[in-house]
Amino acid sequence: MHPEIAREIAAQRGREMRAQARQASVARVASRIRRAMRHGTGGPDVADELVIPAIPDYVDGSFRTSPAEENAVQGSSQPDRMPASRRAT
């Protein structure tokens, strides 16, 4: 085979391989974008809108309250702590 023809065939193959690699790269980027949209991670502005729900403290779904809030809800003026002379049985 003539050297000029061999060089031209090699150059053509190189161009085709680079074009194929470029198409594969574009396809990967498009796939990543579609996956991000499907999973809801579109970018930094989406992270700003993220709202984390409150996690309950107990199994029944209730939340722990401070003693002051418990006294206000119960309407009584029980002390926050039990005196040392009295012990729970």
3-class secondary structure per residue, 3-44: HHHHHHHHHHHHHHHHHHHHHHHHHHHHHHHHHHHHHCCCCH
- pLDDT mean across residues, the chain: 76
In a domain, 33, yes or no: yes
User: What range defines the domain where residue 32 resides?
Assistant: 3-43+50-74
In a domain, 59, yes or no: yes
In a domain, 17, yes or no: yes
Q: Quick one: DSSP state of residue 61?
A: S
Instruction: Tell me whether residue 57 is in a domain.
Output: yes
- Of 22 and 83, which is predicted with more confidence? 22
Task: List, for residues 36-66, the tens digit of each pLDDT value.
Answer: 888 877 555 545 566 777 787 777 877 777 7
Alpha-carbon distance of 42 to 29, in angstroms, equals 13
